[in-house]
Amino acid sequence: MSAGAIPLIRLRGVTKTYGQGDLAFQALKGVDLDIAQGDFVAIMGPSGSGKSTAMNTLGCLDRPTTGEYLFKGVPVQGLDRDERARLRRRYFGFVFQGFHLLPRTSAQENVELPLLYRGETTAQRHAAAQKALEAVGLNGWEHHTPAELSGGQQQRVAIARAIVSNPVVLLADEPTGNLDSQRSAEIMQLLWQLNQVQGITVLMVTHEPEMAAYARRIVHFRDGLLDSDQPNTPFPLRGGQGGGHAPALQGSVAQEVQ
């Protein structure tokens, strides 16, 4: 990023206080953070250090109590609930530890959900969901319900749902928390590819160093403050799994990602 350029995300002096009066608790105590488009940031820190609060703030799910959040230079703290919802739908995709898929609904329909609000035709929704499922390696699994899929496959469906609307930023909160180490590595490889190949900015909360190793940058929270911010050579570029030979994602939606 050139000097003076506006980063995709800029936090300045961000605080978040839960509750009021005697019960008030300050979960963020003045966070400064710049995130460039295309970065892959792992957010680490002990339990209670403010990671989820930071994530909710970054994803425009919640507003800072004080301080400034600029998204593409636009002050998010000044937006009302509906405006923040529009910003989220346009720019953000979310992936959670628990997948959060609708149980009796096919992979295809789960992935189409975010598009229902966008006024697209059925054919457009089908095509976009198909492409996203291809991108996460789930060709042929479109009509399976979550119960018929493994945990790793369910998380792939959730990632397909998160990328189907071509987000600029993918927020992942402990995305491998419910998976064994082999499935975890596959999900991390996929997130790394989405960042490396498609240029999606990835912000991921994790407490596992093996998962953070896939990021380009590792930030640590402690007691509501950022206490370190280090660049990292992503594991696949260190000659690890997929090193230097990341296959182009099938059905790439890269051209649609700004």
Q: Is 51 near ligand ADP (CB under 6 A)?
A: yes
227 contacts ligand ADP (rule: CB under 6 A): no
CB of 28 to ligand ADP, least distance (A): 8
When asked if residue 216 is in the footprint of ligand ADP (CB under 6 A), the reply is no
Question: Which residues, 6+ apart, have CB-to-CB distance to 119 below 8 Å?
Answer: none
By CB under 6 A, residue 117 contacts ligand ADP = no
State which of residues 1, 13, 24, 48 lies at the interface with ligand ADP (CB under 6 A): 48
The size of the interface with ligand ADP (CB under 6 A), counted in residues, is: 12
Q: Shortest approach of ligand ADP to residue 100 CB, angstroms?
A: 17
Task: Give the residue among 168, 149, 162, 59 at the shortest CA–CA distance from 112.
Answer: 162
Kindly give, in sequence order, each residue whose CB lies less than 8 Å from that of residue 123, ignoring residues fewer than 6 positions away.
none
Site for ligand ADP in 7-46 (CB under 6 A): 18-19, 25, 27, 45
Shortest Cβ 98–ligand ADP spacing (Å): 15
**Residue of 2, 3, 21, 47 interacting with ligand ADP (CB under 6 A):** 47
Q: Which is nearer to ligand ADP, 225 or 246 (CB)?
A: 225
Half-sphere exposure of 213 (CA within 13 A, CB side): 15
CB of 118 to ligand ADP, least distance (A): 30
100 dihedral zone (left: phi>0; alpha: psi -120 to 50; beta): left
- Using CB under 6 A, which of 53, 106, 165, 176 touches ligand ADP? 53
Residues that bind ligand ADP (CB under 6 A): 18-19, 25, 27, 45, 47-53
